[in-house]
Each structure stands twice: as C-alpha cells, then as structure tokens.
Amino acid sequence: MPNYLSNSRPNFKPGKIACGSIPCYQFKGSLKSELASGRIDRKSAVRLLDAMLTIREFEEMIVKLRSGAYTPLSTFNYRGPTHLSIGQEASSAGACSAILPMDFITSTHRGHGDSIAKVFFSIAAMTAEQLRARVPKFEGSSGEALLEAAMEDHIFRTAAELFGKEDGYCKGRGGGMHIADFSLNHLGANAIVGGGVPIATGASMACRYMRNDRLVCCFAGDGAYANGVVLESLNWAAQGQFSNKMAKKPFGLPIIFIILNNHYGMTGRAEDEVAGVRRLARRAAGFDDGNMHAEVVNGMDALATRDAVLRAAEGCRAGRGPFLLEFDTYRYYGHSLTDPRSEYRTKEEEAAWKDMDPIAAFSRQLLDAKILTQKTLAALEAKVRDRNARAAVRAAASPDPDPGDVIRYMYADTACSEVPPEHAKVEIVRELPKITRVNGELTYKDAIKEALVGEMLRDNRVIHYGEDVADYGGAFKVTKNLLEAFGRDRVFNTPISEAAICGTAVGAAMAGLRPVVELMYMDFTLMASDQISNQAAKWHYMSGANVEVSLVIRASVGGGKGYGGQHSQSLESIFCHIPGMYVVYPCTPADAKGLLKTSIRDNNPIMFVESQLLYGLKGPVPEGEFLIPLGLADVKREGSDLTIVSWGPAVHDALKAAEALQKDRGASVEVIDLRSLVPLDEETILRSVRKTGRCVVASQSVNIGSFTGEIVSAIVEKTFDDLDAPVLRVGAKNGIAPQSHILEAAFLPNANDIAQAALKLL
C-alpha cells in the first residue's frame, strides 16, 4: 500500500513551469496506406462507411419526419427530440470502430450517432450464436443475412426508443436524449450537458479496480468543457494516486475523453466567445503534467479519428490513461430543428465545412482504392436506406407502453442477497479495525464502521471514498483504520468535488461496483444535486430497468453544533421529493448498523443520513450479521393517547417529550421512528393514529417544505374519521441556522416544543 505521508519541503528557487505542447492533426494517412499497413482491411473499411451512412440516413429521417416528408411514414406524428449530429459521423463511427465490444461509452443529448455506432460495431464483432441470441425470431441460418437482421433490429430498437415505444432500447422511458444499450456497455446518452462525464470517469475507475482490460470512451461536446463537473472529472481522472509511481502496479484510469468540438454549444462558440482558449485540448494542461496525452484530431476524417482512438485505447490498456482527444468537427444543423442558424452562422462557413463532408470524402477513398465501384456504392446506400426505412416503419407500428405502467421501473426490486464467488474473495492488507463493545454497546459511529467493515469483508465490489476518509479516517473518524484493512484501491481520499464524488459513484455502480461514498456535510449535497437527482435517481427508470445503480451516499447533518447556515442543514426532505432515490435516517446505533448493511446490499441509490449529534450516542448493537429492512418503521414506545412520528435526532426528543407527558399528565404517548422516509412505512403510522386519534409529526428540518407535511397529508387523507384533533407539525424555524449557540437552541426544535404541541391536542 503506497505511503502518502507528506514529504513536502519549502523550495522557492526561481524557475518556470513547462506545459508542453499538444499535437494537432498528426494523421497523414489514407485508406490506401492504412490498408497497406494492415491497420484496416477491406471489409472493415466498407463497414465503417456503412456505419456513417446508417447514422446520416437515420438522422435525416428525423428531419423529414418533422415536416411529413419521410415517405415511408408520411402520416406519423413524431414528437421526440431533434438534437442532430449530422456532419459528425466520422467522429462517432471512427471512434467506436477502434474500441472493443466489451468497452464502455457514454454519450450526449446529441448522441444518436454515438449510440448507433457503438452497437453497430459491437454487433459486427458477434459470433453467429450471439447474433441469434440477439434476434431469436430471425428465421435465417447464418452469415450476412443474420448479421443484417441484427443490424436492422438495432435500428428498429433505436427508432422505437425515439418514438417512445415499449420495444425501444429503454422501453420508451428515456427517449433519444437518454438512449442506451446497457447489454453492449453503452452507459447512456445524457440530456444534462456534461452530465455523463463523471459517470464515464467512475466507470473507468471500476475498470481499473477490477483490472478487466476494459476502457471507457466518453463523448461530450465543446459546451460541456466549461461545465464544473466536467472539469472536476478531468481532475479526478488525473489524480496521482491512480498512477502513482509508489504504487505496486501503477495504472491510470482507462478513459478516453473525446471532445466533440462542433464549434457551437447551443449557439455560442467556445472559440473567441465563451472560452479563453482557442483549443479545448488545452484544458488538459490544467490537470495533468503530461497533458493527458492530449491531441487535436480532424473529426471530419473517419480514419483520423479511428487512428487516434486506436492509439489511445492501446495506451489505456497499458495503464497510461487518461487520454483526451479533441475532435474538430461540425454539425450541419442548429441546436434543434427550431434553430435556423442564421443569427450566428454564415452560409459561407457552412459551405466550407460541407466541402469536407466525412461521408463523401471516405466514399471517394473507397472508390479510389477500388474497394467499391459507383454501382456497389449506390447499392450500399440503397441497402442502408431500405434497412432504416423497414426498421422505422416497424418501430412506428410497435406497441406503445401501457399508461398503467407510467411509474413502473422507478425503483429496483432486487438486492444482493448472494455474492458471486469471485467477489467474495477479500484481501486484508494489514489488520481489521478493532471495534470494542462495552456491555454490548457501541457508539453510533462505530456501528456505522462495523457495518462498513462487514460489507467490505462480504463483497469486494464494495468500495468507500470521500474527502479525507483514508489516512485521517474522515472528519468525524467514522472510517478510521479502514484504509489499513482494505488498502487504497478500496478506501481512498478524493478531491473536494462533491459532484464528482457522487457522479463517479453512479458510473462505478453501472460498471459493476457497489460504491459507498461520504459527503462530509449534508449541505454539500447541493453541490452534487445534479449527479444525485438527475443521474443516480433517474437511470433505473430512464433505462427501462436495464441498469441498477447500487450506491450509498453517506451524508452527515451538522445541526446543533453551532456550525452556521452552510454546515447545519437537515436536507433529507429535498431528496424525498426526487423519485428513484431512497432516503434512510437512523437514530440509534443498532439501526445505523442494520440499515447501512441493508442499504449497501440494496440495488437502489440511497441517501443515508447521519446526525453528527448522534455519533457519540451509545446503545446495544447485535454482533455479526444484522439487517433491518428498508421501509419498516420502529415503534420506539407504545401508547394509546397520542402518536408522535419522527426520525433522526428528533426521535430522542420525542421520547423525552413522551416521558414528560406521562409523568406530568399521565398521557400514554406512542413514538414512531420512521427510520426510512423513502420507502415509507405508512401502514405503521396509520395504524397508530387510528388507535390514538391524535398525532404530532416532528423533525429537525425547517418546517417549510419539510417531509413532515407529507406525513400529515397522508394521515389526514387516510384517517380523517379517526382523528380527534388536528395533526400538528414541529420542526426548525423557517429560517437559516445561526452560529450562535443561544440562537441555534431557539432555532432547532426540542423535547419541550414537541410536548407543548402534544398538550394542545390532549
């Protein structure tokens, strides 16, 4: 295990920082020279043109569908997205032809071409048996007919997804901007500009960890490379700890960042307008001393893009990643079909780029090399046109999803009940942490540590990372000594990049790991809210249940410690409002252990909330295997006169209030600890309220927008006839947490506040 103890010494000797140079347009070859060198064969060259034609024809179909000019579907009402990449075919096809079927890609909202190309070349590499498994209804035997059937099925499923059909790659739930084929390691296009870059980075982290000889090809546009999480991802990928010379086997992240520089974000240009560099490849110099092997490539030349990716892929598999390639390309259409382009482009500019058209240029090379004739070229074009038309007609006629299934696939209904044998083998680097019980009790934070240790011993896919969690053991020492037990491949520090922490966890989960990440304060979830809410929470649904995002985000709440407005917020209610995300908030050491173990095994993304006020709380915790189901509330105290529903630290205030009410008024108060807010054990709440007829709902969240309101709404809606009084809420003041301990005591709810609310009902 590398030792990262600082060896830094002051050295203020004058000097200069050399940033090196970035090569541009180095490929000087041609189809003839590539054929002569053996880097491509005649069949592969034709297939490369086939892929580009397929992409172009598919997207031109979309243009025609919008105006009713597509003859095979002249009456079809197409309502999907229209973000086209016409002109960029050489970038998608050239890159995807240079990677292996087992490799991953991520793409963008303008990603039809990337998706078509990735699956196209993966299908082309399949055996007859694999092809038959992909198109089991095909009645032909083998050979070219079987391959063509699989290709047509690919276009059918792509079109069906754009048309919102059940037979689409994502069952119509994702559409064109989120299209994916997870069976062939396309991890999804992304409608959030740059949103897929941290996912790609996390997937490459998983490839590195599992040493599976795979890599990730990450497509993103020029506009993305001004986005914060994208720059965080570049920094993440280049971290010294991933390729440090002190490591036993230095091995950088196997990822190729491809900037599809088509010169326009939406309408704004990076060059001379919204960026200070003329070449976006220079971004790499800010993150890596070797510039990530950055290179600018002619993105209009399929052989140039193929050459660059072949070299980068070889470097990634040899451990020299990450790589960054800027493909200089052009899109012929505007951001969408409602964009006429006339406000910000000239006809002369467009004409100059169209003179470099990638399909026309490569077709000429095939003719010059006598691989195709004008007749066979025309036949290939006709084949592609007819194949796409048949697929589109079939897609339009295919079944729509059942409206009754509108929220089907929102959550995975599976968990890791058994660990595959290859993942049950766990190496202990030094020794396990010593977690000592006193009279059978552990602290809340030691219970969390025991759960983490147990799950990491059970399954080597469980990794843990976050800010300062390694040598130091985290800001609150929850993870102290995990590094010594499991090593730096499984427990490591991260940059202060909450969005990248959560985004890479999404990608790592998609690629086969089960990451547990720590956010030092829950307030920092707002820095990562896109990756949590738009990525982690949505991909199971948007993929039509084709991928499970098995990750846990540990987020601690600092309220009650005088940390002020940016380190004290209890924000669990926000994430309860995000479908696709589970929210868990234990209040006792035993619950912390049992719920964390269950959360790590669950196949949904989980926000696991921990109160810093509770870290030192002691309580009995069962040893060994101990699991608590999600969505099962706990009746912490039984009663008959009034119900208090709460979670987190407020549960302890509720118990104190219940005891005081018993002592002072003889009231019998039932206290329910929700433990998980999503999924919610509504039945336990309703059963209690039907018994008592009165209810107070309490939490440490500010009242406005709090999940307490959701609980009250459910109670009023479903037990109205059983209520003897209104349902009341107790929460923090509708303000910002102050740093003054006097003011904070007034700001947060306490046992007396809960008791006073109860007295109003009694």
User: Phi/psi of residue 521, each to 5°?
Assistant: -135, 145
Pairing mode of beta strands 491-493, 464-466? parallel
Cβ-Cβ contacts under 8 Å for 473 (sequence gap 6 or more): 479, 480, 481, 482, 483
Nearest Cα neighbor of 229 from 606, 508, 527 is: 527
CB 89 within 8 A of CB 52: yes
Cβ-Cβ contacts under 8 Å for 466 (sequence gap 6 or more): 474, 479, 493, 494, 501, 517, 518, 519, 520, 554
CB 261 within 8 A of CB 282: no
| Nearest-angstrom CA–CA distance, 368 and 384 | 22
CB 373 within 8 A of CB 367: yes
Residue 169 burial (10 A CB sphere; 0-12, 13-18, 19+): buried
CA dihedral 652, 653, 656, 658 (to 10 degrees): -100
User: Catalytic residue at 567?
Assistant: yes
| Nearest-angstrom CA–CA distance, 465 and 467 | 7
Please pick, among 109, 186, 540, 567, the residue that the annotation labels catalytic: 567
In three-state secondary structure terms, 70 is: coil
Radius of gyration, CA atoms only, the chain = 29
CB 521 within 8 A of CB 558: yes
Q: What is the 3-state secondary structure (H, E, C) of 657-685?
A: HHHHHHHHHCCCEEEEECCEEECCCHHHH
In three-state secondary structure terms, 261 is: strand
Q: Which two tokens stand for residue 427?
A: 């190496």
Active site residues: 567
